[in-house]
């Protein structure tokens, strides 16, 4: 990912748990293709929905 990218130009995904959009974070730089959930809470509650 190039340096100095505008926040509006960052890639986005939709959370598999809550369905809300979330944007790329630097801590996800190496694993962005594997990220499915927007937060730890959504990751923990992935199977809690009926």
Q: Where are the domains of the chain?
A: 10-44
Residue 39: both structure tokens together: 């937060």
**pLDDT score recorded for residue 33:** 94
**pLDDT score recorded for residue 7:** 72
Q: How far apart are CA 23 and CA 31, in angstroms?
A: 13
Residue 16: both structure tokens together: 């598999």
For the chain, how big is the Rg over CA atoms in Å?
A: 12
DSSP 14: E
**pLDDT score recorded for residue 1:** 55
Per residue in 3-27, pLDDT (tens digit) is 676 777 889 999 999 999 999 999 9
DSSP 30: T
């Amino acid at each position: 990912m190039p340096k100095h990218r505008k926040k509006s130009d960052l890639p986005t995904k939709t959370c598999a748990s809550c369905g809300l959009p979330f944007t790329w974070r630097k801590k996800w730089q190496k694993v962005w293709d594997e990220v499915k959930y927007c937060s730890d809470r959504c990751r923990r509650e992935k199977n809690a929905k009926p």
